[in-house]
Structure 1
Amino acid sequence: MVSSSRQKPLVDFFIVGAMKSGTSSLRDLLRQHDGVDIYRGEIHYFDKETLFEQGDDWYHDHFEMDKSGVLHGDKSPSYSLDKDAPARIHAYNPEARLIWIFRNPVKRAVSNFHHAKKRNQEAMSLESSLAQAEELAAKNSPAAYLFRSQYERHLAAFAEHFSAERQYIMIFEELLADPAAETRKLLNWLGLPNDVELELPHSNEGRSVIKRKFPVAPDTVAQLEELLQPTVDAIETRLGRPIPSWS
């Protein structure tokens, strides 16, 4: 559990990533807890310049800031991808707690591709994206499917401002396998009562019709596996244990 001596009410924790890794399901799970006030959508306060310029009072209007005895939370996985967000969050609340939920990076990249196609069937192909990976990453392009699965790069950006103690890593597949146990561990880290029953919803599930219309070739999956093996190694090293569901 991370202690805090702060008196001024601020947003306490942020679900910062990764997109297409169960962040919406995790948010909706935490919304069931009486000790949590978490906004139902994504605010994008710290990664959208026009919104950040609105100021903290505008931001706080999204929460019940006058409600005592609760933790206020913000789920915006786009924060993990924006170069300015880590410093902005730290300046806003240097005692903030960050929650990461990571999915098998290959499956996340494929899911990201299908999500893009669901939104726009003219979205860049996975193969074209891999051919331009670093260029797309530098621009934080929505088509940077590989970069968005390179979790170690996102962690490194936040490590410049937040210690490892203030960052909690969950594995999506482990949450699915044992929601009760994984939820208890997270609630304990947040300092919340963990003797409650919370249901893990399945939010933002992909559409099978899109997956059938835009299948991913085995050779492309194999290329992703090779490119993302360093990510698997980095997260296993960070956790100090293997992640069997990613093997």
Structure 2
Amino acid sequence: MSLPDFLVIGAPKAGTTALHAALARHPQIFMSAVKEPKFFLTDGPPPDRGGPGDAQTFKEHVWRRADYEALFAAAPAGALKGESTPFYLYDRQAQRRIRAMIPGARLIVVLRDPVERAHSNWTHLWSAGLEPIGDVVRACAEEDRRIAAGWSAFWHYVSLGRYGEQLEHLFTLFPRENVLLFRYRDLVDAPAETLDRICAFLGVREGMIGEVPRENVTAHPEPTLRHRALSRLVRLGVTAGRRLPGTVASRIVEPLEKVMQDNGRPRRPLGWEQRQALIPRFRDDIALLEQVTGEHFGDWLRPRDRSGGLMGDRPPGQRQARNGRPRVH
């Protein structure tokens, strides 16, 4: 069998693409060429319907075991094999499938302020013309209806950021020493130190990789008539794409997405009113996260300045966790 030794399991919009690319540069690590194979998200073929664009995404799943193992077949002898699918942390069934197939897997979890994560997630889909609601707070209010309709996990803006629930379940399946947790800001603000922590966790040589590739900043198109018209065309294209083979739909839709994002402004930070409207959706889970990890995340309940930084002094976050638990910055 050729299965991974470790997995980057979450969270979406928390730097996992850049982390995957950085780890691929380490001479003792082999990362799958397909960054998000999504193998553990299903027991067989993925569904073919969901929200706008989901059907095309489902076609990209590597769901056959032989195809999944083939992703790691070229790994050099002795290299650690890894892949990154940031939805595994959210999906409880995926957690169980990983435990059943790779019980000794080492798991890497990147935690991002859940309000900022939700906003980045919404911006990604809005800029692509897939999200029909031009306000993140109103889009989050649609989440329960979308989940009931079978929209895929990437549309679950709030639920994806409820890390306390996700980690509480994960720790019933895997020992804590098999799980490394750290904050997205660590990857951005102290990449060399954070990469060394990951290498130490994986048991490979430290000091070999010191940079994280720059992530593409999602453009934030203005809600103009032009954007609305192009968005409707995109959604019509992806709906029609359900009946088209392979990547035909992507080849039709991608030029439209590029036109929409040309000359678009970078993602704008949330205003305090929007943040205030979303924080209550995470308050109880942040308390659970602190209980589960023994770490402080109260800064996620506070306002941020225009650059996305915290207002006021940063609370203590770089301390040794209680009861020997993993340290989270």
Q: Which stretch shows the higher mean deviation, 8-17 or 43-52?
A: 43-52
Trace 1:48-197 onto structure 2 (pairs within 5 A).
48=42, 49-50=44-45, 54-55=64-65, 57-64=66-73, 67-124=76-133, 125-137=135-147, 139=150, 140-197=152-209
Q: Distance in 1 between matches of 2:161 and 2:179?
A: 18
**By how many angstroms is 1:213 displaced?**
9.7
Q: Which stretch shows the higher mean deviation, 95-104 or 122-131?
A: 122-131
**By how many angstroms is 1:119 displaced?**
2.2
**By how many angstroms is 1:133 displaced?**
3.8
Q: Distance in 2 between matches of 1:156 and 1:204?
A: 32
- Length-normalised TM-score, structure 2: 0.64
Q: Distance in 2 between matches of 1:89 and 1:27?
A: 19
Kept in 1, the 8 Å contact 2:218–2:266? The answer is no
Kept in 2, the 8 Å contact 1:38–1:73? The answer is yes
**By how many angstroms is 1:239 displaced?**
3.8
Partner of 1:220: 274
Q: Name the amino acid aligned to 1:226.
A: P
Partner of 1:45: 39
> 1:181-204 deviations in whole A, cap 9, x for unaligned?
111111111111113233111234
**By how many angstroms is 1:134 displaced?**
4.0
Compare relative contact order (CA 8 Å, sep 6+) and give the higher one, 1 or 2: 1
**By how many angstroms is 1:27 displaced?**
0.7
> 1:80-124 deviations in whole A, cap 9, x for unaligned?
233421111111110011110011111111101101112225434
Q: Distance in 1 between matches of 2:218 and 2:265?
A: 11
> 1:131-176 deviations in whole A, cap 9, x for unaligned?
2444445645533211111112222332332222211111011221
Aligned-partner SS, 1:84: helix
Matched, 1:13 2:6: yes
Aligned-partner SS, 2:185: helix
CA separation of 1:241 and 1:31: change in aligned 2, threshold 3 A? same
Kept in 2, the 8 Å contact 1:24–1:204? The answer is no
Q: Distance in 2 between matches of 1:21 and 1:30?
A: 15
Aligned-partner SS, 2:7: strand
- Length-normalised TM-score, structure 1: 0.83
CA separation of 1:182 and 1:243: change in aligned 2, threshold 3 A? farther
Count of aligned positions: 239
CA separation of 1:241 and 1:157: change in aligned 2, threshold 3 A? closer
CA separation of 1:198 and 1:141: change in aligned 2, threshold 3 A? closer
Q: Distance in 2 between matches of 1:25 and 1:156?
A: 26
Q: Distance in 1 between matches of 2:187 and 2:63?
A: 36
Q: Distance in 2 between matches of 1:96 and 1:220?
A: 39
Kept in 1, the 8 Å contact 2:2–2:73? The answer is no
Trace 1:231-246 onto structure 2 (pairs within 5 A).
231-243=285-297, 246=300
